[in-house]
Chain A
Amino acid sequence: MKDREPLFSSKNMKLLTNPLNEDNPITVQVLGICSALAITAKLEPAIVMTFSVVAVLAVSNMVISMLRNLIPPRIRIIVQLTVIAAMVILVDQFLKAYAYDVSKQLSVFVGLIITNCIIMGRLEAFAMTNKPWPAFLDGIGNAAGYGIILVIVAFFRELLGSGELLGFPIFEKIGLYNIGYENNGLMILPPMALMVIGIIIWVQRSRNRELIED
């Protein structure tokens, strides 16, 4: 009988860490851009969105992986969608009950996690052919890779656009306005999210030349 693979073998750890950098869903696979533009004007919704996507993706990856031998291939997309939709509704209900203000800010975007291409992509590409534990890690890794970009973008947009971080008026406290600094209102608008992501992609690719496509 084959030896059991340790839970955190190097192969499994790769599932967690790869999507954070060289296999990042946003900057390398360029998936999930739409929500990255929409909810990154402030840090708090970006963080909540990250946790929501982690929960949805990890659990649905695991559920689909457990069912992978039972799911008839002909209806697998529908089954995946049902699992995702159920998870998203649960997350939405919990946010409405425990984080009402944030759920109001995220409004339609929580529901739109269902259509986030990263999630369907991972279910179809990974969970359908792998065991539950690796699938769970893969879900966390990819959602975290998505989230890390959200948080970086939101950090710069909130800081430069509103002069605040998590609502704390950081620029006012260090007296930047007194020497004539003004917030850049453009940072709040969606186009600047795209530009910040563009800059992240540029920095990442100039440090890791293997990522550059022809």
Chain B
Amino acid sequence: MKSFSNTYIFVFSTVMVILVAAILSSAAMLLQPLQQKNFRIEQMRNILASITIESTASDAESLYEKYITESYVVDSKGEIKDGIDAFKVNMVDEVRKPDEEKNLPIFVGLRDDEKKEYVIPVRGAGLWGPIYGYVALNDDFNTIFGTNFGHDGETPGLGSQITTPWFQDRFKGREIFSGAGVFVSIDIVKGKSDPSSMNQVDGITGSTLTTNGLEDMLKDCLKPYEAYFKNQMN
């Protein structure tokens, strides 16, 4: 076998690494606009799905234009913040901030039946990775109209079921305020939920840790909106 000097090995690996880095970064730069467009469309489709509007990659943009009539950002005191595009708020950064500093995006959906829904983005931690989604509230700012949850790597067949209509339908019509008007979010309970309670849904067997994460996500992400919701209710 040919032997190679140490100098050769160093030069060889340096050249290789530089070449590979150059190829990869140019590919990343060239493809970035397309990838960002896909990502935007995905976000639009998820927002639309939370107000039960089905879309495809090709019609998502036009449907979004049609049904999402306005979007804005509020703060934890319920005041509208000017100059921030709700669509561009990065939830990964927002969930790390203290409540007072959070930008809280709201997307207003107006469906064919002329009823307004208020779509709130949520993000939290499941068992293996991030979980995220959108919660659409009726114009009473209390009743859940629909949800759309997603995840990166929850266990297939168990935690991953949070994305199914079978699970998400349980949230429809549930309320995030108790009868006395206190913010309680939604409890995801093991075993049978109390049918008379408007603030509970059944969990998924075998997915306790994922649904616990989901419960925390709803509580943590909806709580900062409390002031805004209350202002609107009165």
Interface string of A9-41 (1 = CB under 8 A from B): 000000000000000000000000000000001
Q: In this assembly, does A107 line the interface, its C-beta being within 8 Å of a C-beta of chain B?
A: yes
- Residues 56-99 of chain A, each 1 if its beta carbon lies under 8 Å from chain B, else 0: 00000000000001111111001100110010011001101110
A82 to B24, CA, bound (A): 12
Residues of chain A within 8 A (CB-CB) of B152 are: 107
- A89, B9: Cβ atoms closer than 8 Å: no
- A127 interface residue, CB < 8 Å from B? no
Chain B residue at minimum C-beta to C-beta distance from A189? B157
Total residue contacts A-B, CB cutoff 8 A: 61
A72 CB contact (under 8 Å) in B4, B39, B157: B4
Does B20 lie within 8 Å of A93, measured CB to CB?
no
Which of B28-36, B94-102, B197-205, B222-230 lies on the face that meets chain A?
Answer: B28-36
Q: Is A100 an interface residue (CB 8 A)?
A: yes
Q: Which residue of B lies closest to A104 (CB)?
A: B42
CB distance from B131 to the nearest CB of A (A): 14
Measured in the bound complex, the distance between the Cα atoms of B42 and A96 in whole Å is 12
**Chain B contacts of A96 at CB under 8 A?**
31, 35, 38
| Contact status B156-A190, CB under 8 Å | yes
> A79 is contacted by which of B16, B35, B57 (Cβ under 8 Å)?
B16
CA–CA, A101 to B46, complex, Å? 13
Whether A82 contacts B35 by the Cβ 8 Å rule is: no
Measured CA separation A83–B23 after assembly (Å): 11
Q: How far is the CA of A104 from the CA of B45 in the complex (A)?
A: 14
Q: State which of B34, B57, B153, B157 has its C-beta within 8 Å of the C-beta of A107.
A: B153
Nearest CB to that of B12 among chain A residues? A72
B1-38 interface mask toward A, CB cutoff 8 Å, 1 = contact, 0 = none? 11010001100110011001001100110010011001
Known contacts A89-B24, A107-B153; is A71 also within 8 Å of B12 by CB?
yes
Closest residue of chain A to B31, judged by CB? A97
Q: Residue A97 contacts which of B13, B38, B41, B42 (CB distance < 8 angstroms)?
A: B38
Docked-complex contact A93 and B35, CB < 8 angstroms? yes
Chain B residues closer than 8 Å to A71, beta-carbon distance: 12
How far apart are the CA atoms of A93 and B23 in the complex, in Å? Answer: 12
Q: Which residues of B contact A74 (CB under 8 A)?
A: 4, 9
- The residue from A82, A90, A93, A94 contacting B17, defined by CB atoms under 8 A apart: A82
Q: Which of B100-134 contact A (CB under 8 A)?
A: none
Judge whether A75 and B27 touch: CB under 8 Å. Answer: no
For residue A108, CB closer than 8 A to chain B, the reply is: yes
**Bound Cα distance from A190 to B157, whole angstroms:** 9
Shortest CB distance B81–A (Å): 31
Most chain B CB atoms below 10 A, which of A86, A97, A104, A189: A97
B12 touches A97 (CB 8 A): no
Instruction: Tell yes or no: A188 within 8 A of B by CB.
Output: yes
B57 to chain A: which residues have CB within 8 Å? 100-101
With contacts A96-B38, A97-B31 known, what are 15 further pairs, Cβ within 8 A?
A: A72-B4, A73-B4, A75-B13, A86-B24, A89-B24, A90-B24, A93-B28, A93-B35, A96-B35, A97-B38, A100-B39, A107-B152, A108-B153, A189-B156, A189-B157
- Residues of B that sit less than 8 Å from A by CB: 1-2, 4, 8-9, 12-13, 16-17, 20, 23-24, 27-28, 31, 34-35, 38-39, 41-42, 57, 152-153, 156-157
Provide 5 A-B residue pairs closer than 8 Å at the C-beta atoms, listed in order of the A residue: A73-B2, A83-B20, A86-B23, A90-B24, A188-B157
Residues of chain A touching chain B, judged by Cβ–Cβ distance below 8 Å, are 41, 69-75, 78-79, 82-83, 86, 89-90, 93-94, 96-98, 100-101, 104, 107-108, 188-190
